[in-house]
Structure 1
Amino acid sequence: MPKFFEDAFSPEQPFLTGEHLRHIGYALRMRPQEQLTINSCGVDYECEIAEITADAVHLNILSSAPCCTEPTISVTLFQALPKSDKLEQIIQKSVELGVTEIVPVLTRRCISRLSAGDFQKKLPRLQKIAQAAAQQSGRGMIPVIAPLHSLELAAERMKAIEVPVVLYETEGGISFSEVRADAKSYGLCIGSEGGFDPQEIAFLQENGVQPVWLGKRILRCETAPLTALSVLMFRTGNLN
């Protein structure tokens, strides 16, 4: 069943306009009596299309209930900036897996060297990718794609997270299986194609971020966050 997000949705006057109208009426070619779901502020409304006019999609609400698909944990992905196509893939799949927020980070070994201003121009497209993935996977919210961060700003943000970790394949870390599974908030810091500079790892450790590793193989930058998210969701009971 198609799902749409609209925080301004009113149960007293159930209709959709604008982009939703174009998507439902023209892209999906939906018709009266077909059903869809509207998520508004964490509540899922199961609706039936009553009428599609030139101005709006008019709906009948069949039922409503709090969305039950969200993970019980908050996960912020701090992703060192990869090439643009890889970032789009990471965003799409991370949203499907239950990430709460994705924070792109510019580190020393990033191949992509966008300025904060240039990255800001890409944000609307990246946020749309997150929205589409949230709708497709039945999420109860649309994860935020943050502006480009420096490593220093990312480390400062991680201080407010209960369990912040950085994936690093060399000695000095612990197995991901040893990361505690009873926390409410997690931060996953993942390198770009070139990984992290040892000085960056030392800096993160000084700021309370624990290095961890995922087995003996080296994962690509687009594989590592999805693997880490999957393992974390499983260990915290969110893939049961």
Structure 2
Amino acid sequence: MPRFFIDSPPVDGKAVVTGEDAHHMLKVLRMKAGESLILCDGQGHDYSCTFMQANGDTAECQVQEVLPSQGEPNVRVTLYMGLPKGDKMDFIVQKAVELGAVEIVPFLAERSVSRPDAKTLRKKCERWRKIAREAAMQCGRGCVPVVGEPLTQKQAAEQAATCDAPLFLYEDEREVGIRQALRGKQPRSVALMIGPEGGFAPAEAETAKQAGMQSVSLGPRILRCETAPLAALSVVMYETGNL
């Protein structure tokens, strides 16, 4: 069943879809009066609706039932991702949203190969936010995860350290695994900091430690920068009962 987000809750049992979503409904899906769809207000509510009619470039819908969204985990996971090269971040954002991340924050690491200028980075962030929205609709999320403004590694570590479980995924960690760090705990918020190609420089590991993050390992194998966040998110969701 088609699923879209709306900017504000329905009024008097009626909801209006605008913008690109309305265009998709009317021009791509060519929905007809009486067809069913799901609208989500981004605040944890799903509205089972019937498409009524098009009014210019907007779509008017009748609410049939209100239900709590089922697609949100009970733990808030923020992914802090070192800027990778090419279009790898597109894939990372999409899959992180599917796995339950509530926020993705890119940061510039010492070993980041990609170093776009401010204008290019703004365009990339706009693209990542669009990808996050589309992924949220596809996988049944109850909100659209945020793609935050790019930070330095120090800023990202300091922000991540405010979470209940701030985890620094470090390839040189030999003692503590990510499951060990989470086992027996029920954190309300988790931060995952993952480096770009080439991992973290030793100075960055020290910066994360001084900020209050815990260094953890994902195991004996070195994962690609686009694989590591998916593995880490899967572990967090499993250990917290969300997978």
Structure 2 length-normalised TM = 0.93
Q: Is the 8 A contact 2:173 2:215 kept in 1?
A: no
User: Separation in 1 of the partners of 2:122 and 2:57?
Assistant: 32
1:167 corresponds to which of 160, 163, 169: 169
Work out whether residues 136 and 144 of structure 2, in 8 Å CA contact, stay in contact via their aligned partners in 1: yes
Counterpart among 86, 93, 107 of residue 91 in structure 1: 93
Unaligned residue ranges in structure 2 (runs of 5+): none
Alpha-carbon spacing, 1:156–1:15, altered in 2? closer, same or farther (3 Å): same
Q: Is residue 103–residue 145 contact of structure 2 (8 Å, CA) maintained in 1? A: yes
CA contact (8 A) 2:6 2:16 kept: no
Question: Residues 53-99 of structure 1: CA distance to partner in whole angstroms, max 9, x if unpaired?
Answer: 43432212110022122000000100000024100000000000000
Distance in structure 1 (CA, Å) of the matches to 2:139 and 2:173: 37
Instruction: Select the residue among 226, 234, 237 that pairs with 2:238.
Output: 234
Aligned to 2:17: 16
- The answer for the alignment partner of 1:157 in structure 2 is 159
CA offsets per residue over residues 171-216 of structure 1, 9 Å max, x none?
4541111012311110000010111001110111111111111121
Superposed, which structure 2 residues align to 1:1-240 within 5 Å?
1-12=1-12, 13-40=14-41, 41-180=43-182, 181-239=185-243
CA distance in 2, matches of 1:238, 1:106: 30
Q: Aligned partners of 1:136, 1:21: CA distance in 2, in Å?
A: 16
Kept in 2, the 8 Å contact 1:164–1:186? The answer is yes
Is the CA contact (8 Å cut-off) linking 1:3 and 1:136 kept in structure 2?
Answer: yes
Q: Indicate conservation of the 8 Å contact 2:161/2:191, yes or no.
A: no
Rounded Cα–Cα distance in structure 2 between residues aligned with 1:37 and 1:47: 6
SS of the residue 2:141 aligns to: coil
- Is the Cα–Cα contact under 8 Å of residues 116 and 147 in structure 1 kept in the other structure? no
State the percentage of identical aligned residues.
Answer: 43
Tell me which stretches of 4 or more aligned residues in structure 1 moved more than 4 Å. Answer: none
| Structure 1: distance between partners of 2:241 and 2:30 | 38
| CA RMSD across the alignment | 1.4
The whole-number CA distance in structure 2 between the counterparts of 1:202 and 1:173 is 16
Change (3 A) 1:138 1:74: same
Q: Following the alignment from structure 2 to structure 1, what is the Cα–Cα distance between the partners of residues 173 and 73?
A: 31
Moved more, 169-178 or 188-197: 169-178
- The structural deviation recorded for 1:121 is 2.4
State the SS of the aligned residue for 1:183. coil
Residues paired across the two proteins, number: 239
Offset, 1:14: 2.1
- Conserved in 1, the CA contact under 8 Å of 2:169 and 2:215? yes
TM-score, normalised to structure 1, is 0.95
| 1:221 positional shift | 0.2
| Partner Cα distance (1:18, 1:72) in 2 | 31
